[in-house]
Amino acid sequence: MLKALLYKELRETGWITLLALAAYFVAAASCAGYPLLPIFGRGWEVGEIPFLDGSFITAFCWISVAYTIALGFRQTAFESARGTWVFLLHRPASIRYLFAVKLAVGAASYLLCGAVAILGYAAWAATPGKHASPFEWWMTAWAWRAWAVITLVYLGAFLAGIRPARWFGTRLLPLPAAGIMAPLVAIIPCWPVLGVAALAVVCGCLVGVTYFVVRTRDF
């Protein structure tokens, strides 16, 4: 059962992940001085310091937010639109197990892809002779913060997609709420200790509300 559910989720969200990987690659290439698309302009210029100039982190955040929103809604709202909830919930597995698999696949997909993007750009920045500015691995700290807190956007999109509210404004409320909480958690001092603790609490609350909606919704 686990294998079948994993295959289903990966098959249905794989194209979103591939698009996100391509977008990460294009953004990283542009920041490294190789703009692959005209919209990225001249790309990275001599004198700018990788990660500290903010260009990569800004592009990473925009791509990650779009990716996690698309991922969350694809796993939930699209199931409602196709009317497949009844079929899924009649499988020999509990409803908690089903949604646990969905959340695990979605979160793992984003975290893995985001980590690949950051590590790939950092590997380029750490290679001698690639640019004239200094580089230390601590410079990637803010990129990792963004990577971690954007998980909240995914959970907010997942919760918004699963809610049964009729009005779109009410139904989508968890998404902007998560979008507000993400930067607030990111600027908490004493990362990673306090920041990770706050992130875990907020993630736990969103997952808890998601399971409450799942238990009480009439599918």
- Condensed to tens digits (0 to 9), the pLDDT of residues 176-217 reads 999 999 999 999 988 888 999 999 999 999 999 999 988 887
For residues 19 and 68, the answer to whether their CB atoms sit within 8 Å is no
Res 140 pLDDT > 60: yes
Amino acid at the residue 214: V
**Closest of 191, 103, 105 to residue 148, by C-alpha:** 191
What is the reported pTM? 0.90
The total of structural domains in the chain comes to 1
DSSP 8-state class, residue 45: -
CA 169 to chain centre: 22
Domain that holds residue 207: 2-216
Res 47 pLDDT > 60: no
- Between 41 and 151, where is the model more confident? 151
44 — pLDDT class (breaks 50, 70, 90): very low
CB-facing half-sphere around the CA of 218: CA atoms within 13 A = 1
For residues 20 and 72, the answer to whether their CB atoms sit within 8 Å is no
